[in-house]
Amino acid sequence: MSAENSTSSGTAPGDRVAIGISFGNSNSSIAVTSVDDKAEVIANEDGDRQIPSIISYVDGEEYNGQQAKQQLIRNSKNTVAYFRDFLGQDFKSIDPTHCHASAHPIEHESTIAFTIQDKEEGDPSTVTISEIATRQFRRLKQSASDFTGKKVNAAVITIPTNFSEKQKAAITKSANDAGLEVLQLIHEPVAALLAYDARPESKVSDKNVVVVDLGGTRSDVAVIASRGGIYTTLATAHDYEFAGVHLDKVLEDHFAKEFIKWNTTDPRLEARSMAKLKLEAEATKKALSIGTNANFSVESLAEGADFASTINRLRYETIARKVFDGFSRLVEGVVKKAGLDVLDIDEVILSGGTSHTPKIAKNFAAIFPESTTIFAPSTTPTAINPSELQARGAALQASLITEYESEDIEQSTHPAVTTVKHLTNAIGVLAITGDESKGIFTPILSAETSVPARRTIHINVPKEGGDVLVKIVEGGSHIKVTKPEPKPKTNGAKDDSDDSDEDSDDEPEEQREKVWKVGSVLAELAVKDTKKGGKVEVMINVAGDLGVTITAREVGAKGGVRGNLSAP
Amino acid sequence: MATHANVNLPLPILPTGWTAEKEFKAIGKLSAATQRSIEPVGPHFLAHARRARHKRTFSEDDRIQAQENAKKVEDDDSGEISEPEDPSMLLRDAKDWKQQDHYAVLGLSKYRYKATEDQIKRAHRKKVLKHHPDKRAAAGGTEDDSFFKCIQKATEVLLDPVKRRQFDSVDERADVEPPTKKQAKDGKYYKLWSNVFKAEGRFSRTQPVPKFGDEKSSKEDVDAFYNFFYNFDSWRSFEYQDEDVPDDNENRDQKRHMERKNNNARKKKKTEDSARLRQLVDQVMAGDERIKIFRQQANASKNKKKLDKELAEKQAKEAKEAEKLKAEQDKKDAEEKAKVERESSKKSKEQAKAAVKKNRRVMKGSVKDANYFVSGEPPAAVINDVLADVELIQGKIDADETAELADKLRDLKLAADIKNVWSAEAKRLVGASKIKEGDVKTFV
C-alpha cells in the first residue's frame, strides 16, 4: 500500500524493485536482471513468457494472457484486446480494426473506453482505456512479484519511437495507477539493441544498426547509429499494413478455402468460426517458424464440422510472399530515409514475435551485404529470442538506473543532455597500402558520432620505422558501382563488403562497394624516430563545441605530439 | 574508453622538409555538425550524462570514476568501527561473560542486532590487533589478557548464529524505552513510538515488519501495523538467562531439577514478554489519534448513510401525503362541480318544463280560440277529437318544436289560419313518420 502511494513522488532508490516491461499491442513480457546483471524474461503463472495483452471477464472474474485469449471465441464481448496503441489517443485517431473480434472501443468523455461486463452482477460498465492498461500492468506486476518474491514497484517500459508526449503521459499514468513507478520510458528498437550490446561477447564499436521490430499489428523499423555505445536514431518507419496478423490472414484464407472445398459454408462468415480460425492460424504460423510442416486442426470449425489439414513451409512462404516482400520494402525504404546505403549497415536486429519466421530473415540477408550480421534465430545461432529482446533491454536499463534518484534520471534524460551535435563527416587518418604512396583513408571517428567523443587507434609504422606523418582528414563515403564486363571476373576487390551473390553466376550483377573519399585536411602531425615494427597511437578528442584535440605518440614511448583545433 | 582499434595499414613516412612548431600543424576545421537527439539508454549514455552534467572531460571523468572506485574499497577496509573504549570495560573479567555487552566489547554498540557478520569479523580483527597480550607486553604494559579473553568470548557468541540469537533476545540495550505522555507531546508521538516498534520488530519471525507510519498513514497501513503486532510471532527466547546447570558427575536429580527450573523460567519470561508487548501495543493504540480519526470517519460515513436514508424516507412520506391531499381535494372539487351542474340542470329542466306547459297551454288555447274549428257551440265530441289531436301532436314533438309551434299559434286569431298551422304541423310529423296518417282526425 505504501508503495502505491509513494510511486508518484518516487520510491527511494534503496526500496526499489525494478523490472523491465515490454508492453505491446499483442503481447507483453516482463524481465528481471539476475545478480550477475543478466537479463532474464520471466514466465507468468501460466508459464508464458509472451503474455497476450488481453483482459477478459467471465462472471466478474478477471482473466489475463493466454487464458483471456481463449475467451475470444466464447466471450468476445467481454474481452479487451489490442488496446496499447489507444492509450492517450482520442477516438478520431485510432484504428479499431483489430478490436473487431473483441470488445469494441467507444468514445467516452474525450477518451476511449470499452463497455464490458466486468462484475458478476449489474449492468455492463464502461471502463476507460487507462483503467484497462492499469489492470494489465497490475497483472504483469503481480507475475513479476510472484517470481522475484519481492514486491515490484518500479519499471522501465518500452514504447514505440512514434509515441507522442500525450501517449507517454498516459502510459506513465496507467503504470503509476498500478503501483509501478516508471523509471524511464525507452524506445523499443533501442531496448532491443541494448539487449544485444549487453551480451558479454559484444564489443563497443561504431556501427550502424537496423532494428526491425515485426509485431502482431504493426511493424516498426529504425536505423540506429551506435557510436561507442551511444545510440542515435537516424530514421524510423512504421507500418500497419504488413505485420503478424497479415501473415495469419494469409493462412486463414488458405485454410478457409480448403474448408469450403469439403463443406459448403465459409467459416469466415461466422464470428465464432472466425475466432477459432484465427487462433489456430496463429498457432500454425508459429509452428511453421520451427518446423517445416505444421498441422492445422480445429474442432467444430463451422456448422459442427471438424477440420484438419497440414501445410508445409514452402507453401506458406509462397502464399505469404506479398507480406514478406512488404517487410523487405519497408526495410529498404528506411535505410534510404536515413541517407545510408545497405552497405553502410553493419547489423540487422530482428525483434518482435513475427521475426521468428525464417523466410523474413532470409529475405533480409539477401538485401544486405554478406558482411552485415543478421540477428535472427534462423540465421545466427547465438541470436537472442526476438520476442524477448525489448523486455530484456528494458530490464537492463532498469538495473542501470534503479540506483539513481528519480530527479537524477529526469535531469539526465532532459533534452539539454540528450540533444548534442553529431559529426557530419568521418574523421580519420591517412594510411598507405604496402606499395602505394597514395593515402588510404582510415576512419577513426565515424559520421553521426555524437560529441563530445574520444577515440583511439593504433596504427602501424612503415617496416623500417623512422619519422612518420600523421595526417588527420575528414572523409566521406560513397558507393562505387562498377558494371562488370559481360563475363564476370573473379573477385578482384579486396574489400570484403562486396555485394557478391553466388546465385547470380550467369547474369552479371553490378558490383557495389563502399569507398572513402578524402575530404578536407584537418591537421598534420609528425611522430619522429619510431622503432621498427612499432605502432603509433592516435587519439582524437572532439569536444562538445567541436573543438578537436589530437594526440599522437608511439606506443610505449613517452611524450608525444599534441595539438588543438579551435571550434568552428 | 581505454579500448582502441588497430589499423594494419602503415602510416606514411614523413616527407622531407616537413617542419612545424611542436610537430603539429593545424590546417582545417571540422565541418558543421548536425543536431540530433541521442537515446538516453545504456551504460555509455549514463557515462555521457554524468560528464555532461558535471561538465567533465573524458580524462577528468576517467580519473574521478577511478578514484571513486578505489575509495570504495578503502572505505570497506576502515569501517566505522571506531568507538571510544570505556576504561571500566577494559578491566572486565572474562569469567562473568554473561553480563558483558558483547557488542560494546567489539565496538559495535551502535549496530547491535543490525551488525553483519562481516562487520563482526572486521571488528574482532581490529580489536585483536590492538589488545593482543603480546602487543600490550611490547608496549610495556602488564601481560594481563583478561580483556582479550572478553573479545574472544564476544566474537564466539556473536559469530555463532544460535548463540547470537540467544544474546540478542536478552540484549535490552537495543530496546527503545516507550516515551512518556509528556515526551510524546507536540507531534513527536509518531516518531518516538515508531522507534520503539522498530526495535521491537527485531524479534519478529516475519520480516519486514510494518512501519508505525505517521499522521498521514492510510487506514490500511495502520490496520496492518496493529494486526501485525497483536499477532506478533516472536523468536525471542531466554536461554541466555538460564542458571548454570551443574556438571554431569554431580547429582543427576539436582541437574534435572535445574533444567526443569530453567525451562519453567524461560516459559514464564516468554509469557511475560508477550504480555509486555501486548500492553505496549494497547498503550500506543489508546493514544493513537489516527485510530480516533478513522473511527470518526467511519461513523460519519455510517451516519451519513443513515441520515441519507432517513431523509429519503421523509421525502417519500411527504410526497405521498401531498399526493393523498391532492387526491382528496380533487375528489371534493369534482363532487362540488357535479353538484352545481346537477342543480343547474334541474333548474333549467324545470324552466323548460314550465315553458312546455305554457306552450301547450297556448296550443290548447289556440284551438279553443278557433272555437274548435266549428261555428257556434262546439259539440263535446268535436272538442274531444280536436283536443286528442292536439295532445297527440304535443306528445310527439319535443320542447323546441313545441315552442316553435306555440310561437306560430300565439298571435293567430282566425280559425282557418290556426287550422293551417296545425295541419302543416301534422303533415310534417306524418312526413317524419312520427305519427300515422290516420291518427290525426281533425288536422288533415
User: Helix/strand/coil (H, E, C) string of B356-376?
Assistant: HHHHHHHHHHHHHHCHHHCCC
Sketch out chain A's domains with CATH numbers. 3-188+389-418 (3.30.420.40), 200-242+322-375 (3.30.420.40), 244-321 (3.90.640.10), 426-487+509-565 (2.60.34.10)
A90, A113, A114, A166, A429 from A105: Cα distances, Å:
11, 6, 5, 19, 60
CB contact under 8 A, A400 and B3: no
Closest-CA residue of B relative to A437 is B12
- Burial bucket for residue A320 (CB in 10 Å: 0-12, 13-18, 19+): buried
What residues of A are in contact with residue B57 (Cβ under 8 Å)? 452, 541, 543
The closest of A206, A59, A194, A64 to A133, measured between CA atoms, is A64
A interface test, pick of B6, B8, B22, B24 with most A CB neighbours within 10 Å: B24
Contacts 24+ apart (CB under 8 A), B399-403: B399/B352, B399/B355, B399/B356, B402/B356, B402/B359, B402/B360, B402/B363, B403/B355, B403/B356, B403/B359
What residues of B are in contact with residue A450 (Cβ under 8 Å)? 36, 38, 48
pLDDT of residue A492: 47
Which of the 8 DSSP states describes residue B86? Answer: P
CB contact under 8 A, B4 and A456: yes
CB contact under 8 A, B11 and A429: yes
CB contact under 8 A, A417 and B31: no
Helix H or strand E segment including A77: none
pLDDT of residue A564: 86
CA atoms within 13 A on the CB side of A152: 33
Report the share of chain A in percent with pLDDT over 90. 52
pLDDT of residue A501: 46
Which residues contact residue B35 at a Cβ distance below 8 angstroms, ignoring those fewer than 6 apart? A419, A420, A421, A422
Whether the predicted pLDDT of B442 surpasses 80: no
CB contact under 8 A, A422 and B43: no
A153, A474, B90, B302 from A430: Cα distances, Å:
54, 10, 75, 86
The predicted-structure confidence for B270-329, as pLDDT tens digits, reads as follows: 999 999 999 988 988 888 888 888 888 888 988 888 999 999 999 999 999 999 999 999
What residues of A are in contact with residue B35 (Cβ under 8 Å)? 419-422
Joined grid coordinates for residue A146: 510472484
* φ/ψ (deg, to 5) at B139: -80, 5
CB contact under 8 A, A417 and B52: yes
What residues of A are in contact with residue B29 (Cβ under 8 Å)? 522, 565-568
What residues of B are in contact with residue A1 (Cβ under 8 Å)? 218, 220-221, 224
Using the structure block, give the residue that is written with the C-alpha cell 501517449. Answer: A167
Which residue in the set A442, A522, A546 is minimally distant from B7, CB to CB?
A: A442
With a CB-CB cutoff of 8 Å, which residues 30-49 of chain B face chain A?
30-46, 48-49
Average confidence (pLDDT) over A367-377: 92
CB contact under 8 A, B22 and A229: no
Tell me the C-alpha distance between A210 and A235, whole Å. 9
Residue A292: which pLDDT band, with cuts at 50, 70 and 90?
very high
Give 3-state DSSP helix, strand, coil % of chain B, rounded to 5: 65, 5, 30
How do strand A125-128 and strand A154-159 relate by DSSP bridges? unpaired
| Chain-centre distance for alpha carbon B219 | 10
Closest-CA residue of A relative to B8 is A460
pTM higher than the cut 0.80: no
Using the structure block, give the residue that is written with the C-alpha cell 296550443. Answer: B363
CB contact under 8 A, A229 and B44: yes
Which residue in the set A229, A415, A519 is minimally distant from B42, CB to CB?
A: A229
Using the structure block, give the residue that is written with the C-alpha cell 562497394. Answer: A513
Which of the 8 DSSP states describes residue B174? Answer: G
CB contact under 8 A, A469 and B15: yes
End-to-end CA distance of chain B: 145
Average confidence (pLDDT) over A365-370: 92
Tell me the C-alpha distance between A254 and A321, whole Å. 13
Which of the 8 DSSP states describes residue B60? Answer: H
Beta-bridge mates of residue A456: A539
pLDDT of residue A303: 86
Range A222-252 burial, b when 16+ CB lie within 10 A, else e: bbbbbbbbbbbbbbbbebeebbbbbbbebbb
Does any CB of chain A come closer than 8 Å to the CB of residue B375? no
A interface test, pick of B11, B35, B45, B207 with most A CB neighbours within 10 Å: B11
- Of A155-164, A191-200, A491-500, the poorest mean pLDDT is in A491-500
Residue A495: which pLDDT band, with cuts at 50, 70 and 90?
very low
Give B297→chain A minimum CA distance, Å. Answer: 20
CB contact under 8 A, B42 and A194: yes
Give A182→chain B minimum CA distance, Å. Answer: 14
Whether the predicted pLDDT of A259 surpasses 50: yes
Tell me the C-alpha distance between A346 and A335, whole Å. 12
With a CB-CB cutoff of 8 Å, which residues 222-281 of chain B face chain A?
224
A-B Cβ pairs (cutoff 8 Å, strict): 246
CB contact under 8 A, B211 and A563: no
The predicted-structure confidence for B173-182, as pLDDT tens digits, reads as follows: 888 888 887 7
End-to-end CA distance of chain A: 56
Helix H or strand E segment including B413: none
B interface test, pick of A158, A469, A470 with most B CB neighbours within 10 Å: A469
Whether the predicted pLDDT of A324 surpasses 90: yes
Contact A210, A331 (CB under 8 A): yes
Q: The complex's ipTM? A: 0.81
